[in-house]
Structures are given as structure tokens and as C-alpha cells.
Amino acid sequence: MVYVVDDDASIRDSLALMLGLSGYSTRFYADAESFLVAFDSHWSGCVVADLRLPGLSGIEMQARVRQRGSVIPFVIITAHGDVPAARAAFQAHAVDFIEKPFDESQLRTAIDTAFALERQRIEGTEVRRADTEKLARLSSREREVLEHAARGLHAKEIAATLGISPRTVEVHKTRIMEKLEVRNIAELVRFAVSAERPPSKSGGQH
């Protein structure tokens, strides 16, 4: 879904035509406030927002969206571009800052880039969810062994820390690798690091 926020009706109409022909589903808003009222932090896709809007600016709206925990990509468009505004947009992780009148291919490229970022984020979330399900298979002792192994400790060091024999540590490692469906310590480390990351938001539609 492409969410367009622009107070110029002619811009909204032209973008409706362009994006519709490009196969994108769209929603349109005339100001930041109406967008924020409707906004759900689980939305994904891309927001195309004018820099200068009645009330909150496009960049201020982007900041409000980030405050709600959403990382949905923004493309800022403007007829009043300047370096400080562009800098502020990119510091807030806008995908692009495009001056009006813009070339349609430039905007389509920016939107395509935004959707590629969304796909990567959602795929990463799905991988993390699968990892979490696999980690749930481990016993508490196996989780302890995994955490120590991920920090680079050898079997003897883990054994000394946990008060068990090195042989028992190796047995736990074998079971951990079977349950997590991994082949080596490097993949075990990936699991441990993934488990420590905060979950990102998912969901969305094209």
C-alpha cells in the first residue's frame, strides 16, 4: 500500500493515476493530522508525503510515526526543497527527498526501493519468528550452554561454569544443534544474537 499525504488535490489525482497504473494500492490524505488519525503502527508499504502541509509538516509527521514504533519507509516530496529540509528527512531515514515537479520514474524508483526495504524487514521478522520457535524447543540447561557457547567459551570452560562435565556439555551441544537444525557453532551464534534482538514490526500489503 502507498499512503499519499498531500494537500494539493491535483497532485493526489496525478499520483492516483500513476500509482494505479503501476499496480499499487493507494490511500490518500490531505494533511498529516488525518493520516495520523487513521495510521496503524502495523501498516507497511510506503508513505509519500509532501514536506509542507497544513499543520504538521511531512517531516514532523514522519517523526510522529517513528515515535509510534513504526519503521514504514517515507518518501518526501516538495516544491520548496532546501538542504536543511533534505538533511532532516534523511536523518529521519527517508528513502528519498524529491523536488516538484518530479519525474514519475524517479518517484517510482523511490517507491520500489521503499518496498524492497519492507520486504527485507518482513522476511527478517519471519526468520526471527522461526528462530524463536526453534529456541523454545531447548531446555533451560540447553539455553545456558547455548549462551556460553555463543560467547566463545569452550566445552571445558562451560563445564566449569555450569558445574557439569565437558562430556555432558558436548552432549547438550549435539542436542542443541539437532533442535535448532544447525550445522556449526557459527549458526549457533546467529541464533543467540537473533534471540537478543528486539522484534521488528511486520505485516502489510502492496
Query: Can you list the domains of the chain with their CATH numbers?
Result: 2-124 (3.40.50.2300), 137-196 (1.10.10.10)
Cβ 6 vs Cβ 12: under 8 Å: yes
Of 63, 62, 64, 70, the residue nearest 44 (C-alpha): 70
Residues in the chain where the model's pLDDT stays below 50? 199-206
Q: What is the pLDDT of residue 48?
A: 97
Q: What is the pLDDT of residue 193?
A: 67
Q: What are residue 27's DSSP bridge partners?
A: 3
Q: What is the pLDDT of residue 101?
A: 85
Q: What is the pLDDT of residues 133-143, one digit of tens each?
A: 888 899 999 98
Q: What contacts 200, CB < 8 A, 6 or more positions away?
A: 71, 121, 124, 125, 128
Determine the straight-line distance between the first and last CA of the chain, rounded to whole angstroms: 4
Q: What is the pLDDT of residues 143-155, one digit of tens each?
A: 899 889 888 889 9
Of 185, 186, 151, the residue nearest 170 (C-alpha): 185
What region, left, alpha or beta, does residue 152 occupy, with left being phi > 0 and alpha being psi -120 to 50 degrees?
A: left
